[in-house]
Amino acid sequence: MGSFPDLTTFSSLRVLFLSDNRLSGTIPESLGKQSNLERLYIGGNPFEGVISEAHFSKLTKLKVFHIYNNSLVFNFSSNWVPPFQLEQLYFVSCQPGFGLPKWLQAQKSYYWLDLSNSTILDTLSNSYWIFPNQKFYMNLSDNQISGHIPNLSLESSFGSIIDLSSNELEGEIPSFVFRGVHLDLSKNMLSKLAFSLCAANNNSLRFLDLSNNRLSGELPNCWMHFEGLKILKLENKNFHGKIPSSVGSLIEIETLDLGNNNFSGELPSFLKNCSKLIFLDLRNNSLSGLIPMWLGRSHPNLVDLILRSNHFYGRMPPHLCHLTHLQILDLASNKITGSIPKCLNNLISLMDKKNPSVAISHS
């Protein structure tokens, strides 16, 4: 605790970790004279006052800057060109009161950019410079960023992680964003998907969340291009028609969430190919027919099975008793008749009082 330490006597300082303490007061401008400083971590302290260009005036070697959870006022001129080239910028849960930092346009080396939950009010439409032309981690989630995602053709974006969730983005999803390993565009106003998805071909994509957007129509039938997917979340309320057959190509899928749409038809048999499923949520659709017996045979790892609010009918198949890891079984608001299979009594995971909260881990 206390104030920011006096570092003027440490002229050779290269790395400074002060994160997650109770340091308060202002940050002295003398910090900007640490010309050998390469890594600076000052987040998680209740600092106050202004941080300006003077705090970075001679930090020509700075590569990593982490700051988060504070109420500092950031005062940079619109034409400021930093003396450094950052590799990592972690700027989370701050209140900068401005848009996307324009000085980032001068940064050519960064591969890690996290500006999440920082009340950034800006448009992304012409911000081509925000996407580095290399493998990168980018998190701009939980802001007020609007406009369209620029339609780039990044050739080296494999290995990238992009999280633009909980913003106000709209329009079409460009193909290049499907070329990484992790893509979260949930909780936006995006409305076009089909062409951009089918134009991409990336077996390295592991996580895809497009839920809670304005996407609609029939789900594109090109999932064979993404055989490496482990998590697919398409909860939207607007997709209709039958679940496309290429979903059966997702042989690595562990979480499949198609809930709150208007999918119709029977539970497709090609889901038998998705034998690694742990979480299956098809709630609030228009699926019908019998609950198939293969559901209990083909998915030995299933933990959550949610089929509520559809049009399934007939008896509850005793083959569900083969799902020995099942913790949640939800068949409510269907037309299920007959007795409950007594063998459900053998599913001890359903009645484990020691672990009331369900947590699912993905590698």
Quickly count: other Cβ atoms within 10 Å of residue 160's Cβ. 23
φ/ψ of residue 65, rounded to 5: -135, 115
Q: Given this model, what pLDDT does residue 274 score? A: 97
Q: Given this model, what pLDDT does residue 19 score? A: 96
Please enumerate in sequence order all residues whose Cβ is within 8 A of that of 196, keeping only pairs 6 or more positions apart, or say none: 172, 173, 174, 175, 178
Q: Given this model, what pLDDT does residue 155 score? A: 61
Topology of the domain comprising 1-119: 3.80.10
81 contacts 105 by C-beta, under 8 angstroms: no
CA distances to 77, 79, 99, 143 from 74, rounded to whole Å, are 10, 14, 12, 17
Q: In sequence order, what are the beta bridge partners of 50?
A: 73
Q: Given this model, what pLDDT does residue 151 score? A: 86
Q: Given this model, what pLDDT does residue 73 score? A: 86
CA distances to 248, 259, 289, 319 from 292, rounded to whole Å, are 16, 19, 8, 9
Quote the CA–CA distance of 58 and 53 in Å, as a whole number.
Answer: 10
Quote the CA–CA distance of 237 and 313 in Å, as a whole number.
Answer: 23
216 contacts 192 by C-beta, under 8 angstroms: no
- The size of the chain, in residues, is 363
Quote the CA–CA distance of 19 and 46 in Å, as a whole number.
Answer: 10
CA distances to 39, 280, 309 from 78, rounded to whole Å, are 24, 49, 53
User: Which of 57, 61, 100 has the alpha carbon at shortest distance from 82?
Assistant: 57
* One pLDDT digit (tens) per residue for the chain, 363 residues: 999 999 999 999 999 999 999 999 999 999 999 999 999 999 999 999 999 999 999 999 999 999 999 888 888 888 999 999 999 999 999 877 678 988 999 999 999 999 999 989 999 988 888 888 778 999 999 999 999 999 887 665 567 999 999 999 999 999 999 989 999 999 999 999 888 899 888 999 999 999 999 999 999 999 999 999 999 999 987 899 999 999 999 999 999 999 999 999 999 999 999 999 999 999 999 999 999 999 989 999 999 999 999 999 999 999 999 999 998 999 999 999 999 999 988 888 877 666 555 566 766
**What tokens were used for 287?**
């699926």
Helix (H) or strand (E) holding 297: helix 294-297
Please enumerate in sequence order all residues whose Cβ is within 8 A of that of 93, keeping only pairs 6 or more positions apart, or say none: 68, 69, 116, 117, 118
User: Which of 158, 153, 157, 195 has the alpha carbon at shortest distance from 173?
Assistant: 195
Q: Given this model, what pLDDT does residue 156 score? A: 55
C-alpha gyration radius of the chain: 25
226 contacts 204 by C-beta, under 8 angstroms: no
Q: In sequence order, what are the beta bridge partners of 232?
A: 208, 256
Q: Is 297 exposed, middle or buried (0-12, 13-18, 19+ CB in 10 A)?
A: middle
Quickly count: other Cβ atoms within 10 Å of residue 232's Cβ. 22
Q: Given this model, what pLDDT does residue 126 score? A: 84
